[in-house]
Amino acid sequence: MFRSFIRNLLLIYFLLISSISFSQKPNIIWITVEDISPTLSMYGDSTAKTPNLDELASESLIFTEAFTTVGVCSPSRSSLITGMYPVSIGTHQMRTGKDVFGWGSRDYDGVSNAIDVNGDSIPLHSVVTPPEVKCFTEYLRAEGYYCTNNSKTDYQFAAPVTAWDQNSNNAHWKNREKNQPFFSVFNFDVTHESKMWLHRDKPLTVKQGLVPLPPYFPDTETVRNDVARNYSNIELLDKMVGNLIKELKADGLFDKTYIFFFSDHGGPLPRGKRSHYESGLKVPMMVRDPYEKKIRYVDDQISFVDLAPTTLSLTGLNIPDHFQGRAFMGEKKSEILRDYVFGSGDRFDETYDRVRSVISKEFIYVKNYYTNRPAYKDVLYRKNIDMTNEMLMLYKEDKLNSDQKYWYRESKTREEFYVRSEDPHSLKNLISDERYEDEINKHRMALKNWQDEINDIGAKSEKKHLDSMWPRGIQPKSSKPDVTVKDKTVTIKSNTLGSSNAFIISDNDFEPSLDDGWKLYHEPIKVNKGYIYVISTRLGYEDSEIIKIKL
C-alpha cells in the first residue's frame, strides 16, 4: 500500500513537471499562403483591403527583404521543411510526383509530361534526399511539440509519418494534450494561380480601374480584370486569416504564440510565379512576437532556408550542422547578416531551363545556362489565365512596347545585371555597363562560392540524377528496423542509413494506416501491455513493412 502511495505521488510529480515544462515552451504557427507578392498595405500597396492582416502587421516584425529559393511551389516548400537549398538536395525540378497534400498519394504510376534538358522523359517519382536531411519538425516532436500540418505538403517527396502528429484537412492544435506546446502550419490556397480561372464567376471586390499595373503589362480590359481578380482573392484570404486568429484568441493562445505569415513565392500573374527576378522570388513575410508586440520594419535579407533554423531557435533547440539557413530570431539567432540571397530555376512542369540569381540590397545578378532558350517559359498550366494568352497574342502581333516585350525575348544574354532602386522590375540589363564592373564581379563570385559551398547539382541531367536515386527505375525501400523488448522497455534501431522510426502503441490488434497517429521514436519506450507497431521511413524511400509485437 505504501509503495502504491509513493508510485502515485511520483506520477503526479512527473505530470506536474511535464505540464510546467510544456507551458514554458512557445507555440508557433506558420500561416503559409500561395502565390502572392508583397502587394499588401504594410508594403505600400493598399489596393486590396486587408483589415485582419493590417491588424496583425501592427504588432509584427515586417521583413522587407524576404525571398523564396525558387519561384514555384514544390521546390520552395522543400526548402521550408528541410532548411536546405533545393539545388543541393535534388528537389529543384517542378514537380516530380503527386505527393501534394497530406501524406501524399505515394503512387508513382501514371503519365508525366516532364522532359529534361537532354529530351529524356522523366517518370513520376519521389526525390531521395541525402541521408542527413530530415523534416525539421522531427526535432520539435522529439522535444515534446505537437506538430500539425493543414494540409498542403508538396515537398517533392512523400511526407513521412515522423514529420507530423496530424497531417490532413482536420489537423489542428486543438487535438494536442493539455498545455502541450505546438507547431502548426495552416496553408491557404485561395490566392493560388488556379483561382485566377476557378474564381471567374465570383464577383470582383476590387475595381478594375483602380488596380496598379507594372510596366511590363499592357493596359487592356483583360489584364485589368485579371489583376483585379488577384487583389480580390487577397481580400478573400484576409478573411480566412482573420478566422484563424479568432480561433487562437478564443483558445487563449494569441499572446502565447509566434505567428509567421508568408507566401510560398511571388504572385500568380505573368512574369511573377516561376520568375527568378524579384517578381517571382520576393515574398511578404511578417512575424508577430507575442512578447514584443509592436510594428517594426526589418530590412535584413531573409531566405526560405532560414525558416526552419529560426523555428528551432525560438524553441531553444540546437540547429543541425547540415542546415544551410541561419536563424534570424530566437536563442540561436545568427549575428552574421546576409550580403546576398540566392535563387534558382530549372524545370517547370514540361518546360526546362537553368537559371541562377543573386540578389543583394542594391542589385540583381542573373546567370543563364541556356542562352538559346527563350526567356518566356511556355508552361501550359498558366495558359488557363486569360491575360497570359492575350499578352502572348499581342506579342506575336507586335503590339507590345519594349518593356512588355522584354519577357518574350527569344534568346538571353549569358548574364544579366539590374539596379534595383532604378529598375525595380528588372527591365534594363546593364551587364555590359562598365560602371558596374566591380559589382558584377562581386555577384558573379558570390554565385560561384555559393554553388561550391552547397554543391549545386543543377548541371546534372534530371534523368541521370533520377537513375542514381531510383536504380533501374525502382524506388528504394527502408529496411525493417530491429525492435527489442526487455524489462517492458522497447528499443528500436534503424537498418537504413538516414531513416527515422515511428511507432503506435495500442490495446487492440488492428491494421494501422498513415492517419493513425504515429509517434516519433527518439528514445526507448516503456510499455506494459498491448501491441506495438513500428515502421521505418526515409525521405524519398518507400516505407518499410510494419512490425507488430504483442507485449
pLDDT tens-place string over residues 241-269: 999 999 999 999 999 999 999 999 999 99
Q: Position of cell 464567376?
A: 201
Q: 3-class secondary structure for 416-484? A: EEEECCCCCCCCCCCCCCHHHHHHHHHHHHHHHHHHHHHCCCCCCCHHHHHHHHCHHHCCCECCCCEEE
Question: Is the confidence at residue 233, as pLDDT, over 90?
Answer: yes
Q: DSSP E strands: which ranges in 193-330?
A: 257-263, 282-288, 296-298, 302-303
Q: Please indicate, yes or no, if residue 2 is contained in any of the structural domains.
A: no
What is the model's pLDDT at position 24?
A: 82
Shared domain for 147 and 177, answered yes or no, is yes
Are residues 245 and 108 part of one domain?
yes
Q: Do 388 and 528 belong together in one domain?
A: no
Domain-terminating residue out of 471, 498, 518: 471
Tell me, yes or no, whether 193 and 293 share the same domain. Answer: yes
What does the pLDDT average to over 77-85? Answer: 98
Q: Do residues 149 and 72 both lie within one domain? A: yes
Q: Whole-angstrom Cα distance, residue 448 to residue 206?
A: 44
Alpha carbons 64 and 62: distance in angstroms, whole number: 6
Instruction: Look at residue 76 and tell me if it is in a domain.
Output: yes
In this structure, are 466 and 483 located in the same domain? no
Query: Do residues 55 and 142 both lie within one domain?
Result: yes
Query: What is the predicted pLDDT for the residue at 22?
Result: 53
One domain for residues 354 and 299: no
DSSP 8-state assignment for residue 68 = -
pLDDT score for 8: 42
Task: Tell which of 407, 437, 471 closes a domain.
Answer: 471
Q: Give yes or no: residues 290 and 421 share one domain.
A: no
pLDDT tens for 466-520 read: 999 999 999 999 999 999 999 999 999 999 999 999 999 999 999 999 999 999 9
Same domain, 62 and 183: yes
What residue numbers bound the domain in which 501 lies?
476-550
Evaluate the CA torsion angle 67, 71, 77, 83 in order and state its sign: negative
Per-residue pLDDT tens digits for 137-152: 999 999 999 999 999 9
In a domain, 424, yes or no: yes
Q: How far is the C-alpha of 359 from the C-alpha of 342, rounded, in Å?
A: 6
Is 135 known to be catalytic? no
| Amino acid identity for residue 51 in this structure | P
Residue 402 has pLDDT above 70, yes or no: yes
Domain boundary among 312, 337, 362: 337
Please tell me whether residue 175 adopts helix, strand or coil conformation. Answer: helix
Closest CA to 420 of 323, 495, 340: 340
User: pLDDT tens digit string along 427-475?
Assistant: 999 999 999 999 999 999 999 999 999 999 999 999 999 999 999 999 9
What pLDDT is attached to residue 19?
42
Residue 144 sits in the same domain as residue 197: yes
Domain count, the chain: 3
Q: Are residues 89 and 174 in the same domain?
A: yes
Which residue in 73, 171, 227, 520 is the catalytic one?
73
**pLDDT averaged over every residue in the chain:** 95
pTM value is 0.95
Is 16 inside any structural domain?
no
Residue 42 lies in a domain: yes
State the Cα–Cα distance between residues 453 and 485, nearest whole angstrom.
Answer: 44
Distance (Å, whole) CA 446 – CA 450: 6
Report pLDDT digits (tens) over 335-357.
999 999 999 999 999 999 999 99
